[in-house]
Copies of this chain bind each other. A is one copy, B any other.
């Protein structure tokens, strides 16, 4: 029962997936402006395919919340609103502490080792961009420890979207070096199996992170009053 001479494991390039990934990346990097209208036909031309896979891609993007589909009208990439930023940060505040608490219950020694390895990456001075990447991996690793696939998927989604929303607001060249202690303490709590302490640390961490980001947005002129609106007037998204 050796597995044959396998010509590599089916290197499928499911076309619609290609377009989905490509568009997703462009949207996330804001190479396609928030609020912009997407024309299925021209996209189909650009990627040299028909419109059907484009439709599939649009559906997937809509599922991610990256585009909204107005029936018989058009595909719009989600605008950046204060509401959206708030929702995401608030959602992290709901998920993060819970994930930390569950991680304290379920994390294996191997997983704790992985967490420590990630934390160590904070030692080097990092720009905000890569720091966010590290933070992303760290928190998603914790999410995995929670033994809840939904939480993992949701966490990934939140980080992705947050990255996009902040791309407008953050100067990615800024250097920072910090947080290492906080993260170490969190891993310690997880290793000790102290769920409440882990949750508390994560709560504080997310709160400070949230305040940092909000303040930064306000400093940079977004969030002037209590409304940021980059992109089309958000059609009240209906029911």
Q: Name the interface residues of A129-174: CB closer than 8 Å to any CB of B.
A: 146-151, 154
Q: In the complex, A71→B86 CA distance in Å?
A: 36
Beta-carbon contact of A148 and B86 below 8 Å: yes
Q: Is the interface of A mostly helix, strand, loop or mixed?
A: helix
Q: Indicate the size class of the contact surface on chain A.
A: 20 to 34
Question: Which stretch (A26-34, A54-62, A119-127, A215-223) binds chain B?
Answer: A54-62
Q: Does A52 contact B (CB under 8 A)?
A: yes
CB–CB A90/B72 < 8 A? no
Instruction: Report yes or no: A150 in contact with B87, Cβ–Cβ below 8 A.
Output: yes
**Interface assignment of A2: CB less than 8 Å from any CB of chain B:** no
> Does the CB pair A93–B88 fall under 8 Å?
no
Decide if A235 is an interface residue (CB 8 Å cutoff).
no
Q: With A86-B147, A94-B151, A154-B154 given, name 10 new contacts (CB 8 A).
A: A14-B71, A56-B56, A62-B63, A83-B149, A87-B150, A90-B98, A90-B150, A91-B148, A91-B154, A94-B98
**5 residue pairs, one from A and one from B, having the closest CB atoms:** A63-B63, A94-B98, A59-B59, A87-B150, A87-B148
